[in-house]
Every structure is written in C-alpha cells, then in structure tokens.
Amino acid sequence: MASPKQFGFIHIQSPGLVSAESACSWVIVQAGKVTFEGQGNFLQAINACAKVPTALALSVQDLIVTKITLPTTSQTQRRSALPYAIQNQLAQPATQMHWSFRAKGKQLDVVGISYTHLDLIEATLEKLNFSPKWLIADGLHLGGYESHWKVMALSDSLLVQSGSHQAFSINSEQPLPWLQKAYDEAHKSAAGEPLNMTFVGQQTTGLKQWLSSSSIDVKTHQEADLFNSAGILSQGFDANSCINLWRQKPRKLWSFNINWQVWRLPYTLTILIALLGLSHLWLSNSTLQKTIAATQLQSQTIFQRTLPNTRLVDVLTQLENQVLVAQSVKKTSAFLPMLAAFETFNSALKKVPDESEIVAIRFLDNRLYVTLKASPEHFKKWPKTGVLEAKFVYETKAIDNTINVIVSSQEAR
C-alpha cells in the first residue's frame, strides 16, 4: 500500500508561524477510510494524532513550488547544484532555503522552505513534544491537474492545484482577480485552459458569476461547514511519492569497542600488508605510465617521419583518417572521354575540315556543353539525340546558325 495502514493527517489552514493555537483540521485514516476527524487548534490535533505516524501539511503560501532540470542523476550532485540552478527564479538567496525534491529522470519537482521558518516550526514541535513523520505542502495533495483544476475555499484563502506539481494559495479578501489572472495565464500557456474545475467550499456570488461567464464546468460543490480540509487532502497523500520537507538527520556513527592489547599485532600486520600492496600498485602504475609514454613517443616519431608536413594532434585518429582517404574510391572525371567521343563523332560528319567550328565548351554537373557554328547542311547531319561510343548520349538544339550539343553519360540518365 502506498501509505501506512493507519496514519494521521493535520492541515494547518493559515499561512505564517505555527503555534499551539494555529487553526487546523485533522483526520485519522485506516485502510484508506477516515475513522476520526476534527477541527480546532494545533494542540488539539496533536493530542488526537499522537499515537499514529502523522503528516503535517503546511500552507503552500509559505513554500516555493517549482520544477528544474539538471543534467545528472546523482543525488549528491543534485543537492549541490539545486540552489544555483534555481536562483534565477527567486528574489532571495537560494542558499538560505531548505530544498526537497522528487526526481523524474533529469527533471526535479522541487519544494523549498526558508531555514528561518523551518527552524521556528521545529522549535514549536519540540516544545509541544510532537514529531510528525512527513512535512508536506498542502496544495500538492488536492488532486488537481492541468485539465482539471481543484479549488478549496478555506476561511481566509483559496487553495488551488492546477497541475501535478503546480499549486498556489490566494490569501486575499478579493481572490477573484487573482484566480482570473491564473486562469488567463493557463489559457495562454502550452497546457491550455482547464477543461473543468472541482470546487470545495462556499462560493461567493462573484465567484459563481465568474465560473458561469467563463463556461467552467464545476464538477462538485460542498458547503464550507460540510467538509474537512485534512480529509480531502489525505485522499491525495502518498507516503512514497510525497516531497517531505524534513531535514535529513545525519546517521549515527558506530563506535568501535576494541581491545587494542589483543588486536595490536594483527592490526600492525594488516597495515604493513596494506602498505606493501599499495607500494606494489604504485610501482606497477609507474611502469605502465612509462610504457605508455614510450609507446606514444614512438608512434609520434613514426607519424612525423611518414607525414612530415602534417600537424600532429592525435596520432591514431589522423592515421586512421589517412587510411580511409587512401581506400576511398576516386571519382573519375568524364570530361576528356566525353570530349574525345564528341570530336570523333563530329569529325566523322565533316566532309570538309572547316565545315563546323567549336565556339564554346563547358563542363558542368558531369555534362559536356558544346556550341557549334556550322552551315545549314551540317545541321542536318546532327540528329536531335544519339549515342556516342556506346557510353554517352547527346541531345542537340539548333539556334540560328549554331548547334548546342549536350553530352552526358548513360548512367546519369
């Protein structure tokens, strides 16, 4: 099962500092069903959930929810690079924030909280003698996604989840303009506008009018006194995939309890054997390095003797390229064979030496273009198309007193 068979869930409904008097709601879930629920202050919630592992959901307004992409899959490298990669999204130093994340390949879903705020929460929990197992962002567990927003109306704010890792809180006396702006931004983005919306809580008259005018399909609606926010958020809570904001505590080091009077000689022998092994490895490595250096120098010498006018960069690669160039098939030019075949054919048609005269010769795209100036009688001797020496074909075009002959290979045609 994704979450424990029995766990508690406490939702701090208002942003800011957490204290024993903070307004919250809580539930205890067993086998996926709510067995106990309540609303009141934080101290009452602690007393109700003290005997079960508990998730404490903080207001997303006090947190930073974002996504980044890092070109590494090492957890250590991710934690080191994350503050610097995310700094351009923040107005405050990212190093003054505690970051937790969940990786999906190279993309990270990130949640951050300031060290100051986290220290105050830990101090309050220690004072109240309470230690929840998970510290999470409330808006990420509403169950909304890009095409289906989920909105919860709390006593002094609107909590909205607009994506799998996109959530925000509107803490304003007039939340409608902010919701309208978020809706417009989603409509302009690549994700497109939300197709429908689930709304939990009391809707004001202005909000009802806006939902109607925007043609948003409101799937469900519960009045404010008929729902428990912790119960709704606990339905989307998954202990294995949630982003836990608790700082990882350093592992306790195991202390050795060794009788050195007994183990002194074996320990000394072990150290000496290890030193001998390291010395052997060092000598082997030194010999190998000298062999590699000598081989490289020899190959460079052979290369410089073979190709003295070539710049030396990478011996093996350059020699391989030279071999490939030498083995490549050289394309033979057809210009001279075409010209010889044309002259042979043209000479055979002449009755007198000066009957035709070559005005221009061009060789372009493996074709021979010849322009002849000749008498009308000679024009008749050149057919429009023909074959030259069984290798080439030609075409003729007569313009005024000239013949344009185009010779090409039969393979090209």
**Which residues in 123-235 belong to E strands, given as ranges?**
134-137, 148-153, 158-163, 166-170, 196-200, 217-222
Confidence check: pLDDT of 314 > 90? no
Q: What is the mean pLDDT of the chain?
A: 83
pLDDT confidence band for 65 (50 / 70 / 90): very high
374, part of any domain: yes
Instruction: List CB contacts of 227: < 8 A, sequence separation 6 or more.
Output: 200, 201
CATH of the domain at 192: 3.30.420.380
Fill in the amino acid letter for 42.
F
Give the best-scoring range by mean pLDDT among 74-83, 143-152, 215-224, 307-316.
Answer: 74-83
343, part of any domain: yes
pLDDT confidence band for 180 (50 / 70 / 90): confident
User: What pLDDT is attached to residue 254?
Assistant: 59
The answer to whether the beta carbons of residues 372 and 356 sit under 8 Å apart is yes
State how far the Cα of 56 lies from the Cα of 8, in Å rounded to an integer: 9
Last residue within a domain, chosen from 234, 256, 275 = 234
CATH of the domain at 340: 3.30.1360
320, part of any domain: no
User: What pLDDT is attached to residue 45?
Assistant: 93
226, part of any domain: yes
Confidence check: pLDDT of 209 > 90? no
213, part of any domain: yes
Last residue within a domain, chosen from 194, 209, 234 = 234
Confidence check: pLDDT of 281 > 80? yes
Query: How many structural domains compose the chain?
Result: 2
Q: For 98-109, what is the mean pLDDT?
A: 90
User: What pLDDT is attached to residue 250?
Assistant: 56
State how far the Cα of 327 lies from the Cα of 302, in Å rounded to an integer: 20
State how far the Cα of 215 lies from the Cα of 210, in Å rounded to an integer: 8
Using a pLDDT cut of 70, give the percent of the chain over it: 89
pLDDT confidence band for 1 (50 / 70 / 90): very low
Domain with 102, as residue range(s), is 6-234
Confidence check: pLDDT of 299 > 90? no
276, part of any domain: no
